[in-house]
Amino acid sequence: MDAVVFDDFGSSRVADVQTPSPASDEVLVEVARVQLSVTECFLYQGAEIIHYDSVACRLQNQDTQLFGHEFCGRIIETGDEVTEFKTGERVYAPGKIHCGTCSYCCSGYENLCPDTVGIGYDRPGALAEYVSLPTDPLCAFPDAVSDAEGAALQPMASSLLCTLDADISPGDTVVVLGAGVMGFQCAMSAKRFGAGTVFVADVRTQPLEIAADYGLNPIDATKENPVEVILEMTDNLGADVVFEAVGGEQNHATKGDDPLSQAFEAVRRGGTILQVGHIVDEIELTPSVARSKAVRWVNPQKGYTSVAPGTDTGELAAELVADGDVPIAEFVTHELSGLESFEAAVDITLNKETHGALGPAQIVLN
């Protein structure tokens, strides 16, 4: 089969590799689409961020297969022991593969498992015609979800996990700083779970227009200070829940303002800050600020399907998309054909504004 293979950071090509054969507890998936994540693109460039060590280790092998954890495809073969999936079903992988034996896994808290296997980092992912995976991280999705949406479901499942962890109460005033893919998904999920007014702040016009189209309240951070707007709209109380969905180097969605500081200023006493974005650098945080307002600053593990025993954000994410509650297709703006377009997809995903992209690029295989 064809697969994107890697010899070093920044060096890739499409090569003919052995088609995987599923083990008894695995299924073989014919990949329909794969969507790059920003993390994968940064890792490809050699950034020393999450998963760097496993990627560096894998790169010591020739022609190693990396990346491709955001994908969807059709099951074409099942291992002998597989009972929960049938051939023909379309699946995606909302989370990582957890160990299944540690005390967290055994008590239903797989989201806290310290010994996970990352698809595309610790083992080959879906930047290939076929991928063989254990059933554990897979989730089937209904016909009402397109392949473009299916390949974009993984971050949606993580957004949902963040929203569930925020414990939204009916009527809550919610603020989302950063209206990118996950920010928008958190905002729409919060609304779906009963939030009252939902504000989204960003410096880019297009995401704010989409937010307004879906009944969210846009704040153009190039013109207004989001903190001042929120305090004014809440009689100086502050918001019940603030999602910090900028992450990264803390500057691109708010023009250099530190969105985490803004979150602490915009949240009410006793409110919740949900950390959606991964903050890359060191930040200054004064404990007394959190203490004086009794703020709950929640840092959920993402890439998992549960927040507590019995929860499954994988299925719920697909359901909310199928029902139209969270329109994730809005952010699929760039669809490229074939694995050869990997480099172009990296460029688009890392330079969305230059390319007029809203979300990461998707590569269409079948």
Q: Which residues bind Zn ion (CB under 5 A)?
A: 98-99, 102, 105, 113
Q: Which is nearer to Zn ion, 312 or 347 (CB)?
A: 312
Whole-angstrom Cα distance, residue 308 to residue 116? Answer: 17
Residue 348 DSSP code? H
Shortest Å distance, C-beta 283 to Zn ion: 30
Shortest Å distance, C-beta 54 to Zn ion: 17
Q: Which is nearer to Zn ion, 11 or 101 (CB)?
A: 101
Shortest Å distance, C-beta 161 to Zn ion: 17
Shortest Å distance, C-beta 131 to Zn ion: 22
Shortest Å distance, C-beta 105 to Zn ion: 3
Whole-angstrom Cα distance, residue 275 to residue 300? Answer: 7
Q: Which is nearer to Zn ion, 96 or 191 (CB)?
A: 96
Amino acid at 332: V
Q: Which is nearer to Zn ion, 111 or 349 (CB)?
A: 111
User: Cα 361 vs. chain centroid, distance in angstroms?
Assistant: 14
Rg (CA), the chain: 20
Shortest Å distance, C-beta 11 to Zn ion: 34
Residue 70 DSSP code? E
Element spanning 189, H or E: helix 181-192
β pairing state of 139-140 and 2-8: unpaired
Q: Which is nearer to Zn ion, 108 or 142 (CB)?
A: 108
Shortest Å distance, C-beta 87 to Zn ion: 29
Residues 6+ apart with CB under 8 A from 246: 177, 178, 183, 252, 253, 254, 259, 277
Shortest Å distance, C-beta 304 to Zn ion: 11
Whole-angstrom Cα distance, residue 346 to residue 37? Answer: 9
Residues 6+ apart with CB under 8 A from 236: none
Strand positions, DSSP E, 79-172: 90-92, 130-134, 139-140
Residue with tokens 């993390």: 39
Burial 47-72 (b: 16+ CB within 10 A, else e): eeebbbebbeebbeeeebbbbbbbbb
Shortest Å distance, C-beta 97 to Zn ion: 10
Q: Which is nearer to Zn ion, 98 or 352 (CB)?
A: 98
Whole-angstrom Cα distance, residue 144 to residue 130? Answer: 23
Q: Which is nearer to Zn ion, 208 or 307 (CB)?
A: 307
